[in-house]
A and B are shown apart, each in its own frame.
Chain A
Amino acid sequence: MTTLRATGLPRRAVAPDLPGAVAALIGLGGMALPFVQFRPNRIVAGEALTLPAALGARGTAVLAGLAAVLLLAALGRQRPALRLALGAAAGLGLTLALGAAATALSAGGGTLARVSPAAGFWTMLLAALLLAADGAARLEARPALRWLLLAAGVAAVAALLRSGVLADVSVLREYAARAPQFRAEAVRHLRLAFASLGAALAIGLPLGIALHLQRGLRPAVLGVLDVVQTIPSLALFGVMIPALGWVAAHVPGAAAAGIAGIGVFPALVALFLYSLLPVVANTVVGLDAVPAPLREAAAGLGMTRGQVLRQVMIPLTLPVLLAAVRIVLVQNIGLAVIAGLIGGGGFGAFVFQGLNQTAMDLILLGALPTIALALVAGVALDIAVAQLRRGAA
């Protein structure tokens, strides 16, 4: 395939590449910043070290390799697959260097020593990922290949974490100190995100179908759901505690049904309320978009109203519904962090504990998995939507 574009100007054989140049600028800037932060223990401020200062000649070699990749990208446009591979390799190299620097520095610092990634690491990683993202975006791959790439990315990160090369990085030290709690919070976080999504689908789909059939109800229901979205998450989560506590205490059978003003339940209800609007609105929009002739043809075949809905309307609405699932799942994975503030658990527990103690590693322990989860969920559902659209077309 050709990479030339009709820009109105003839292109020279070796033309500087704009995305490559942006990544190079960011990456080379990152080389001047400290790569790691070294602290005698996890609370006190420590000293910032560049990669060569932390890792000696090996560090210089990694930087030289990265600089070569970045210059290559800035000076000319590689094939998308090659650029993706170069970006991924640069990211892997940086991560391995981080692990090695942590091991080398903490060897002399005792078990309390903490080595955490600093601005330079994040900036250079950003440059590497930008290169990879540029390659991936221009690859215009089919869904099957995108699934494969996503799986490969997840597997690579999992393998890196399991291999132990990063074991001396502060976040993973923090993880090692509280692995059982981490697993419990991860389960709780996922349960919050998925259970609220499930509940929103169970209630939102029928509600959306009802609104599709009864136009008169739309302004009222969608208006109320719109207002719910404007309530700040902190307040909605907070109000749920007394509200559900009151229900549990005063409505017979409510407490037995698991309704409670403490623990996971208030967070679950708050997430559910935020999820309703995207599900209901997209159901209505999707059903409305089914062409009338198709509906009439199905009815003409002798299908009942229910059959038309189940066998024609819903399958055609699926891409729009899946888009709503993407919005809700990504949003809920992010918002579930707030549950940590009201005792609902999840990764937010680490984030807010870390904020209280000004312990960066603890914040990262909560924030990084949340970002990773949201990212994987978002990309996976994007691919699924693309796949459905392709199948429908």
Chain B
Amino acid sequence: MTRRVGLVLLAAALAAFLIAPDRFAPLLRPLTTNGAPAIYTQTSLLRLALSHLALVGAAVAVSTAVAVGFAIFVTRPAGRDLLPLARSVASIGQTFPPVAVLALAVPAMGFGAGPTLLALILYGLLPIFENTLAGLASVPPAVIEAARGTGMTPAQRLRAVELPLALPVILSGVRLSAIIALSTATIGSTVAARTLGEVIIAGLLSSNSAFVVQGGAVVAALALLISGLFREIERALTPAAQRPGG
């Protein structure tokens, strides 16, 4: 309960800051030197936050569709041969540093949102893929057997039994992906993507800590809110999903 109250308060504070950042200037003023501005005004913070979220949302949506689809494929009889390879590619892929992926995407796609989107998608695939595999593997064989016994086709079993039971674990993979993407998207500003990283970089370039703090705080607040929201959904789904067929 306290967690929910905390989330609502955080959401309210974030909304207030994004809508009327000037009101918060006195709070950030002590971090500035030589009368530098306390609030980033080059671009509206609200617009940057929305574009940041849009980038993350698009990337996570693509990652989820691809990763869940692929994880389902390699756990069916037709694709099972690919499982060992997919596993090792996923674990190797996880060691690739996001910044390196981002930097390497630039020459292929130019500066802007493109390389950031690609890096976010690539990096978001792995947690979702791993969690979907784990979720599908956690479905008790007896349950699948029972579903088969009632005459369900493989497709029906997948839709009505396996996926609902695996959903909480899949969602926690999506949450992980979204959090990583939120943080990585800030680095996207180094390749000219429109994200909250712009504020942080402006702060780094002009040695204005107020900019660094407000950019970082907004991203951190977004991450906490999204993570909290996902956890609520996971919790709401888990008991219902544990009832077979429910």
Could you tell me which A residues sit within 8 Å of B by CB distance?
5, 7-9, 17-19, 22, 119, 130, 133-134, 136-138, 227, 229-236, 238-239, 241-242, 330, 333-335, 337-338, 341-342, 348, 351-352, 354-355, 358, 360, 363-364, 366-367, 370-371, 374-375, 377-379, 382
Which of A18, A227, A235, A242 interacts with B186 by CB under 8 Å? A235
In the assembly, what is the distance between CA of A237 and CA of B187, in Å? 12
Is the Cβ of A234 less than 8 Å from the Cβ of B187? yes
> What A residues does B25 contact at CB under 8 A?
none
Given contacts A232-B197, A234-B186, A367-B100, contact A242 B80 (CB under 8 A): no
In angstroms, how far is the closest chain A Cβ from the Cβ of B182?
Answer: 7
- Judge whether B133 is part of the interface by a CB distance below 8 angstroms: no
| Interchain CB contact under 8 A, B220 and A130 | no
A374 touching B224 by the CB < 8 A rule? no
Pick from B85, B187, B215: contact of A338, CB under 8 Å: B187
Least Cβ distance of A100 to chain B in Å? 23
> B22-54: which residues lie under 8 A (CB-CB) from chain A?
31
Q: In the complex, are the beta carbons of A370 and B97 less than 8 A apart? A: yes
Q: Which of B56-103 contact A (CB under 8 A)?
A: 77, 79-82, 84-85, 87-89, 91-92, 94-100, 103
Does B203 interact with chain A (Cβ within 8 Å)? yes
Q: How far is the CB of B69 from chain A (nearest CB, A)?
A: 15
> Lowest 3 CB-CB distances: which A-B pairs, in order?
A235-B216, A334-B97, A230-B223
Is A370 within 8 A of B81, CB to CB?
no
A232 touches B220 (CB 8 A): yes
Q: Are A337 and B99 in contact, CB atoms less than 8 angstroms apart?
A: yes
> Which residue of chain A lies nearest to B76 when distances are taken between CB atoms in the complex?
A7
Q: A19-B81, A355-B190 are in contact. Are A235 and B213 (CB under 8 A)?
A: yes
Tell whether, in the assembled complex, residue B104 and residue A367 are in contact, meaning their CB atoms are under 8 Å apart. Answer: yes
Contact of A235 among B94, B99, B212 (CB under 8 A): B212
Please tell me if the beta carbons of B203 and A233 are within 8 angstroms of each other in the complex.
no
Show 22 residue pairs from A and B whose CB-CB distance is below 8 angstroms, ordered by the A residue: A8-B77, A9-B77, A18-B81, A119-B108, A133-B92, A227-B220, A234-B189, A234-B200, A235-B215, A241-B209, A242-B212, A330-B94, A334-B95, A334-B98, A335-B99, A351-B103, A358-B106, A363-B103, A366-B103, A367-B97, A375-B92, A378-B92
Further contacts, 19 of them, CB under 8 A, given A227-B224, A351-B100:
A19-B81, A133-B88, A137-B85, A230-B179, A231-B219, A232-B182, A232-B200, A232-B216, A234-B204, A238-B212, A238-B216, A239-B216, A335-B97, A337-B97, A342-B204, A351-B103, A367-B97, A367-B103, A371-B100
Question: In the complex, which residues of chain A have a beta carbon less than 8 angstroms from the beta carbon of B96?
Answer: 334, 371, 374-375
Residues of the A chain whose Cβ atoms lie less than 8 Å from the Cβ of B215? 232, 234-235
Least CB distance, A392 to chain B, in whole angstroms: 21
Known: A227-B224, A338-B187, A341-B190. Is A375-B95 also a contact (CB below 8 A)?
Answer: yes
Assess the B88–A136 pair: CB atoms within 8 A: yes
Question: How long is the Cα–Cα vector from A363 to B105 in the complex, in angstroms?
Answer: 10
Chain B minimum-CB-distance residue to A229 = B179
Interface SS of chain B: helix, strand, loop or mixed?
helix
B112 vs chain A, min Cβ distance (A): 13
A212 vs B7: C-alpha distance in the bound complex, in angstroms? 28
Q: B79 and A234: CB pair below 8 A?
A: no
Q: How far is the CA of A233 from the CA of B106 in the complex (A)?
A: 20
Decide if the interface of chain A is mainly helix, strand, loop or mixed.
helix
Inter-chain contacts of B80 with A (CB < 8 A): 5, 7
A239–B100 Cα distance when bound, in Å, is 22
Chain B residue numbers with a CB within 8 Å of A134 are 84-85, 88
**A374: chain B residues within 8 A (beta carbon):** 95-97
Give the complex CA separation of A348 and B92 in angstroms.
21
Q: Is the CB of A236 within 8 A of B216?
A: yes
Are B224 and A233 in contact (CB-based, < 8 A)? no
Give the distance to chain A from B37, nearest Cβ to Cβ, in Å.
16
Residue B116 interfacial (CB < 8 Å): no
B97 touches A238 (CB 8 A): no
Asked if B158 lies at the interface with its beta carbon under 8 angstroms from chain A, I say no
- Nearest CB of chain A from residue B235's CB, rounded to whole Å: 16
Given B95, B103, B187, B197, which contacts A354 in the complex, CB threshold below 8 Å? Answer: B103
- The closest CB in chain B to the CB of A359 belongs to B107
Residue of B at shortest CB range from A360? Answer: B107
Tell me if A377 and B200 are in contact (CB < 8 A).
Answer: no
Rounded to whole angstroms, the CA-CA distance of A197 and B92 in the bound complex is 21
Residue B167 is within 8 A (CB to CB) of chain A in the complex: no
In the bound assembly, the distance between CA atoms of A363 and B201 in angstroms comes to 19
A342 to B186, CA, bound (A): 15
Q: Would A234 and B97 be within 8 Å (CB), given that A18-B79, A239-B212 are in contact? A: no
